[in-house]
């Protein structure tokens, strides 16, 4: 497979289980090396861990002995950002993700949705060039998931960063992305790159009511149906 992610774009990757979606993120993060071909980031081949990329995995993966404040500021501490500047940025991001008042709570004291907010803030606080997300909202209940989808959309639109988002959820891909990369059954190939025409800023609640949304959803679903029938 071969594809590009443009700077400032939100790209969703969807496909059946086992087709290689998570592998793509691991390659982009430099956690895996390709057996053939090359992965390039910002014009340079990725030959080791990509320190310009933030990675939000399926699990929040918070450090249990650190508070919300400590987890969010971890990357800044590794980068030796001065304490005063670090505290200012942590306070800013605690507020941005709606966790004011929970700064000193530990992961065990947080709901699943709150843990995800911490993970997202931890990923965005050091202004990475690209954010990789691997089904970050998968285990959450429907209401929490919708709320976090809208929160992520609002954050991303303000930050104007680059984001690659792996999901199984067709709705989620259409809500969030500028482009949707549709993968085949494993070993995965790219079946289609679909442009999402909705302007930004977006409100999920109004998108789902539009006929254009239904048309795109049906188009994606027909691709998946034909893929499963072939398999």
Read off the pLDDT of each residue in 126-139 and give the average, rounded to a whole number: 86
What the block records as the tokens of 139 is 């285990």
Q: Confidence band (pLDDT; 50, 70, 90) for 83?
A: very high
Flag whether pLDDT at 227 surpasses 70.
Answer: no
Percent of residues, the chain, with pLDDT higher than 70: 97
For residue 77, the Cα-to-chain-centroid distance in whole angstroms is 23
Domains of the chain: 1-52+131-231 (3.40.50.300), 62-128 (no CATH)
User: pLDDT digit string (tens) for 141-171?
Assistant: 888 888 888 888 888 887 778 999 999 889 8
69-75 long-range contacts, CB within 8 A, separation 24+: 69/94, 69/103, 69/104, 71/107, 71/118, 71/122, 72/118, 72/121, 72/122, 72/125, 73/125, 74/122, 75/122, 75/125, 75/126
Under a CB-based contact definition with an 8 Å cutoff, are residues 39 and 45 in contact? yes
pLDDT of residue 64: 96
pLDDT at residue 231 is higher than 70: no
**Given this model, what pLDDT does residue 228 score?**
61
């Amino acid at each position: 497979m071969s594809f590009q992610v443009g700077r400032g774009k939100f790209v969703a990757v969807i496909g059946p289980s086992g087709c290689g979606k998570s592998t793509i993120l691991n390659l982009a993060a430099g956690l895996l090396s390709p057996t053939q071909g090359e992965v390039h980031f910002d014009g340079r081949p990725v030959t080791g861990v990509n320190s310009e990329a933030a990675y939000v995995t399926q699990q929040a993966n918070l450090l249990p002995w650190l508070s919300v404040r400590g987890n969010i500021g971890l990357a800044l501490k590794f980068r030796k950002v001065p304490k005063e500047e670090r505290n200012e940025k942590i306070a800013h991001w605690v507020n941005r993700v709606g966790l004011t008042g929970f700064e000193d709570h530990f992961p065990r004291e947080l709901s699943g949705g709150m843990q995800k907010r911490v993970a997202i803030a931890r990923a965005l606080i050091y202004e990475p060039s690209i954010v990789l997300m691997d089904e970050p909202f998968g285990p959450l209940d429907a209401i929490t998931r919708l709320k976090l989808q809208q929160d992520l959309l609002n954050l991303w639109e303000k930050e104007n960063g680059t984001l690659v988002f792996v999901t199984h959820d067709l709705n989620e891909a259409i809500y969030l992305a500028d482009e949707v990369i549709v993968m085949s059954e494993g070993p995965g190939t790219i079946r289609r790159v679909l442009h999402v025409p909705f302007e930004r800023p977006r409100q999920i609640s109004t998108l789902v009511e539009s006929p254009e949304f239904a048309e795109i959803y049906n188009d994606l679903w027909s691709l998946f149906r034909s893929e499963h029938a072939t398999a």
